[in-house]
Amino acid sequence: MPMALAAFIAGLTISESHHAQEARRRLLPFRDLFAVLFFVAIGTLIDPGQLAVGWGWLLVLLAMVLVAKVGVSYVLARIARLAARPLQLAIGLGQVGEFSFVLASLGLATGELDRPLYSAMLAAVALSIAASSVAVRFAAPAFQRSAM
């Protein structure tokens, strides 16, 4: 955990420095490669047998993401009267971060999570990331058509 947390803090620090643009420019070619490796690695961690046992957890976790992330983001965007399209904004924010994998792995290692819940958490995070990326792309043209 300390190494993952240190990497996270280093990323936050760099993003606030004047070197951020140069770091993004140099790392951009690796983004797609790491995205593929990320999803392959997560796919290897999800045990289908345990996921079958914990499918109820998966549904609960996905519902929580929808309500807590998408729903709350949408309501807050509407209340704040943001210039952005509230639903598209909420969909874009409606995912669980990659750091959740580190926390879930730590929970499994310490015995706080059992295997079915761990597999359900990994699947929920991966599904929320993939689904929000796809949904935002489909939502943008729909909003453009409705604005015409």
Q: What does the H/E/C string look like for 74-93?
A: HHHHHHHCCCCCHHHHHHHH
Is the predicted pLDDT of residue 140 greater than 80, yes or no?
A: no
* Mean pLDDT score across all residues of the chain: 84
- Name, in order, each residue with C-beta under 8 angstroms of 70's C-beta and a sequence gap of 6 or more: 90, 91, 93, 94
Per DSSP, 31 falls in state H
pLDDT in tens, 62-106: 999 989 988 998 899 999 998 778 888 888 888 888 888 888 999
- Cα separation, 100 vs 41, whole angstroms: 14
pLDDT at 23: 81
Q: pLDDT above 90 covers what percent of the chain?
A: 26
Q: Torsion angle, CA of 64/67/68/72, rounded to 10 degrees?
A: 180
Average pLDDT over every residue of 132-145:
71
- Cα separation, 27 vs 30, whole angstroms: 5
Give the least confident one: 28-32, 66-70, 140-144.
140-144
CA angle 40, 42, 48 (to 5 degrees): 105
Residue type, 139: A
Cβ count near 100 (within 10 Å)? 17
Q: Which pLDDT band holds residue 45 (cuts at 50, 70, 90)?
A: confident
pTM above 0.85, yes or no: no
Q: Which pLDDT band holds residue 148 (cuts at 50, 70, 90)?
A: very low
Is the predicted pLDDT of residue 51 greater than 70, yes or no?
A: yes
Is the predicted pLDDT of residue 110 greater than 90, yes or no?
A: yes
